Amino acid sequence: MHPIRPDKTQPITFQGALALTFVAWFAEVMVSMLLRPFLLRHGMQPMAAASLVRVVCYGLVFSAMLHVNGLTYRRLFHEGPASVGATLGVLGPPLLLMVPLILLLDSLAMMAVNALLPMSRGEAQMMSEMANGSIGAWALVCIIAPFIEEMFFRGILLRGMLKRYGQADATVYSAFVFGVAHLNVYQFVIAFAVGLFVAALYCRTRSLWPGIVLHMGLNTGATIYAAVAPDGNALETPLGLWAIAVPLGLLGARILRRLLWRPTADAAPGGTEPPPDAA
């Protein structure tokens, strides 16, 4: 077991995390205003243009933050005591087993929020565009967003808040900021819940990879579901799918709990420990 190396990450307050999130959003808006019209004039699809703009914008933000904190991309992604391959090999399967159940529960939560606060035409159109089946939309939602959001919200903000607060407070604060960043109440609920879970994964493994795998699985599953059944909801889902998703999700959760949260006297510094057989 290798100790976690110290880094120069600066402490971030909750208010500071909200401010940095606003700065990142504002930078994306400004870059989009400059680049998006040019890209569209040259035949690029709107969602593909949005993907490129986000990569350029957040690449600049990450470069600045990593320079300030004295980090490399390699250290940002993984500093756990186990190797990347071992971490993903052990934690990846149970995380993916949980994806269908999380998506069904997300659909129920969306229905409940929509019943209280009916979605406007503009918001419905935005959701529809994210599931329009274009290559740009798939790349943005299923690949680019998971990497960028995990790097920013867990790799930068959560990491900094762990220097300022206790683990429980930093986890809740980072999840709240992650939910707010989605800019609509319909995605806030599931984003906050997933943010809590992924932050706990990061605190336990000191790796962004488990969160990226889960994030990609959820976004890909949601995109496929929206494309196959655009007007569907959890109450209309066949019982057979529930019968498969529930036991698989509970099995994945049980395996993950045994791997990461069983009592042990051999926890690594900072409250982390390698998954069994992964060190």
pTM metric for this prediction: 0.83
Render pLDDT for 119-145 as a digit per residue (tens, 0 to 9): 666 666 666 655 555 666 677 778 888
Q: Say if residue 51's pLDDT is above 60.
A: yes
pLDDT, residue 128, reads: 60
**Which one is predicted more confidently, 155 or 127?**
155
pLDDT, residue 276, reads: 38
Would you say 276 and 204 are in contact if contact means Cβ atoms under 8 Å apart?
no
Render pLDDT for 244-262 as a digit per residue (tens, 0 to 9): 999 999 999 999 999 998 7
Render pLDDT for 55-75 as a digit per residue (tens, 0 to 9): 777 777 888 888 888 888 888
**Any idea what the Cα angle at residue 53 is, between residues 44 and 15, rounded to 5°?**
155
Residues 6+ apart with CB under 8 A from 143: 216
C-alpha 12/C-alpha 23 separation (Å) is 14
pLDDT, residue 266, reads: 45
pLDDT, residue 64, reads: 85
Domain boundaries, the chain: 14-271
| Token pair in block for residue 139 | 């790349």
| Token pair in block for residue 183 | 């800019």
